[in-house]
Amino acid sequence: MELWFTEKQTKNFGITAKIKRTYVTEQTEFQKLDMVETEEFGNMLILDGMVMTTQKDEFVYHEMVAHVPLFTHPNPRQVLVVGGGDGGVIREVLKHPSVEKATLVEIDGKVIEYSKQYLPEIAGELENSRVEVKVDDGFMHIAMSENQYDVIMVDSTEPVGPAAKLFEKGFYEGISKALKEDGIFVAQTDNPWFTPELISKVFKDVSEIFPITRLYTANIPTYPSGLWTFTIGSKQYDPLEVNEERFHDIETKYWTKELHKAAFALPKFVADLIK
Amino acid sequence: MELWFTEKQTKNFGITAKIKRTYVTEQTEFQKLDMVETEEFGNMLILDGMVMTTQKDEFVYHEMVAHVPLFTHPNPRQVLVVGGGDGGVIREVLKHPSVEKATLVEIDGKVIEYSKQYLPEIAGELENSRVEVKVDDGFMHIAMSENQYDVIMVDSTEPVGPAAKLFEKGFYEGISKALKEDGIFVAQTDNPWFTPELISKVFKDVSEIFPITRLYTANIPTYPSGLWTFTIGSKQYDPLEVNEERFHDIETKYWTKELHKAAFALPKFVADLIK
């Protein structure tokens, strides 16, 4: 018998992956959590039926969330990751020596627990002494923070279930308040093929709060359409105006100095979404 | 009853699309040809079980094959398209007024016939007076051509079946001979996630024949991994050294002046394939 996991990425389109074994299938307090081993992408974390990360392609998302804002800010010391319980963004954040403390606020402790167990090369740095892990509501954490962070990264699930409120304008206002006066934030904002309205809406909301708003992309094969977008809101620093001398050497598999800027060169139909 | 078409893009991974109806399912002289209507991507041409083009995302491939070499060459007049019987590359080629004649050499007349019928907005320009359509073997056509073309585009299927010989070094030597002394060619060269060896091999072969060899990418959601590569071999003109004043206005949905160069900024793991 062959087992295949199929994610319907839209009502009418999806991806399908052959499964070697299922490690976990559990209804947590917040969502359905599956951890499986796939033939093609190694271990895979699935939340509410949607692929969150896989061993083979996780580096793209995690590097591109972390390094673009961290190389844009001249001296990031206090960093907050909202969501991201698999620990991949934290791992990349720690590659920046200026970072004194990285705080992770993940609402679902089970995501952290199973990631440590089945995705150790992604979650391993959650034990690092520069990291504080809080199992808590990221929305509330943001609401109670003021002038505290240099960089905030929103590593959420899709805007359904527990993450829905992380795509509301009020949340971005909270982020602005939680950031220092020269702070910068990034959020994953889905894909332009199946959810163009979301990208337009978030970009508009963010640009009404932050003086500098930018959209960039990366290729993630297990995410819908393979083309993922990230929206940056920044109070002072423009990712397109980075002094390239600031790029120190870090070990990456996706991010490069050239891609840092090239990732903002959008296909025309994507650029049209944020006009 | 719901009908879903599934393409196994690798042995262990694939995409699946809900089908409204099947227009054609036929074994031609060269390959299995299916033309279906999907819910998500409109009409879809499938050859030997692999998605070739769809109404919704066809513009990416066709624009990026055509405009990158045509804007690199300062005065492209004679253009050859090998394969590409759906007519999409030809449609984009004709947007360049310098082009006097575009020749299409497609081995399978059925691809042309059914594309005209079911993909009219893609194939419509095949009737243009600047176009010559030949139902013939592209490999042989190249072998018999000398000093004839300014730009050659290889719009082939994957390196199995009728297109296998279009990925051999001897074919690229033939292309070099068929090109004028300042000619340039481009070939689609699959994706870096599932077929990294192919990209490395083609790049090496081409760089042993052409003084300038470059790799660029585009996002095509219905192609494996969503990240497609294109390899350029050029005798004189470097796509990265294009004078931007040469970019005339054309109507596109993917290609932009900025993307023309940004598409060559490769993710590190892709850049490593062609070192």
**Contact at 8 Å (CB) between B251 and B95?**
yes
In this complex, the residue of B12, B18, B41 whose CB is nearest that of residue A17 is: B12
Residue numbers in the known binding site of A for S-methyl-5'-thioadenosine are 31, 106, 137-138, 162
| Chain center to CA of A176 | 18
| pLDDT tens column, A67-119 | 999 999 999 999 999 999 999 999 999 999 999 999 999 999 999 999 999 99
Separation of alpha carbons B114 and B116, rounded Å: 5
Chain B residues with CB under 8 Å of A266 CB are 256, 258-259
Residues of B contacting chain A (CB within 8 angstroms): 6, 10-18, 38-41, 56-57, 60, 193, 217-221, 224-227, 252-256, 258-259, 261-263, 265-269, 271
CA distance B266 to chain A (A): 7
* Domain edges within chain A: 3-52, 58-274
pLDDT, one tens digit per residue, over A15-37 is 999 999 999 999 999 999 999 99
Q: A129 Cβ partners below 8 Å, 6+ apart?
A: none
pLDDT of residue A86: 98
A213: tokens are: 């708003």
- What pLDDT is attached to residue B245? 85
Q: Do B18 and A12 touch (CB under 8 A)?
A: yes
Taking CA–CA distances from B15, the nearest residue in chain A reads A15
For residue B267, give both structure tokens: 């993710």
Q: Distance between CA atoms of A243 and A166, rounded to whole angstroms?
A: 31
Please check the confidence at residue A166 and state whether its pLDDT lies above 90.
Answer: no
Q: Rounded CA gap, B54 and A174, in Å?
A: 42
Which pLDDT value is given to residue B98? 97
Give the active site residues of B. Answer: 155
**What is the CA B56 to chain-centroid distance, rounded?**
16
- Measured in angstroms, the CA of A252 and the nearest CA of chain B are apart by 7
Residue A162 has pLDDT above 80, yes or no: no
Neighboring chain A residues of B253 at a CB cutoff of 8 Å:
267-269
Please, is A130 exposed, middle or buried when counting C-beta atoms within 10 Å of its C-beta (0-12, 13-18, 19+)? middle
Q: What CATH superfamily classification does A58-274 receive?
A: Vaccinia Virus protein VP39 (3.40.50.150)
**A155 catalytic per annotation:** yes
Contact call for B259 and A253, based on CB within 8 A: no
Catalytic residue, chosen from A34, A150, A155, A205, is A155
Residue A158 pLDDT class (50, 70, 90 cuts):
confident
CB-based contact B227 A219, cutoff 8 Å: yes
Would you give per-residue pLDDT tens digits along chain B (275 residues)?
899 999 999 999 999 999 999 999 999 999 999 999 999 999 999 999 999 999 999 999 999 999 999 999 999 999 999 999 999 999 999 999 999 999 999 999 999 999 999 999 999 999 999 999 999 999 999 999 999 999 999 998 887 777 788 889 999 999 999 999 999 999 999 999 999 999 999 999 999 999 999 999 999 999 999 999 999 999 999 999 998 888 988 999 999 999 999 999 999 999 999 99
Interface confidence: ipTM more than 0.85: yes
Mapped to the 3 state alphabet, what secondary structure does chain A carry? CCEEEEEEEECCEEEEEEEEEEEEEEECCCCEEEEEEECCCEEEEEECCEEEEECCCHHHHHHHHHHHHHHHCCCCCEEEEEECCCCHHHHHHCCCCCCCEEEEEECCHHHHHHHHHHCHHHHHHHHCCCEEEEECCHHHHHHCCCCCEEEEEEECCCCCHHHHHHHCHHHHHHHHHHEEEEEEEEEECCCCCCCHHHHHHHHHHHHCCCCEEEEEEEECCCCHHHEEEEEEEECCCCHHHCCHHHCCCCCCCCCCHHHHHHCCCCCHHHHHHHC
CATH H-level, domain B3-54: superfamily: Spermidine synthase, tetramerisation domain (2.30.140.10)
- Closest residue of chain B to A10, computed from CA coordinates: B40
pLDDT value at position A87? 98
Residue A245's pLDDT is 85
pLDDT in tens, A49-71: 999 999 999 999 999 999 999 99
Percent of chain B predicted with pLDDT > 70: 100
A41 vs B contacts (CB less than 8 Å): 13
Q: What CATH number matches the domain at A3-52, 2.60.40.1890, 1.20.1740.10, 2.30.140.10, 3.40.50.720?
A: 2.30.140.10
Buried b (16+ CB within 10 A) or exposed e, A38-68: bebbbbbbbbbebbbbbbbbbbbbbbbbbbb
Asked if A18 lies within 8 A of B18 by C-beta distance, the reply is no
Mutation to test the A interface, candidates B5, B268, B273, most A Cβ within 10 Å: B268
**Closest residue by Cα to residue B171 from B101, B103, B50, B82:** B82
* Candidates B16, B57, B262; nearest CB to A265: B262
Residue A160 pLDDT:
74
CB contact under 8 A, B15 and A11: no
Position A68 scores a pLDDT of 98
pLDDT of residue A244: 84
> What is the pLDDT at residue B113?
98
Closest alpha carbon within chain A to B272:
A253
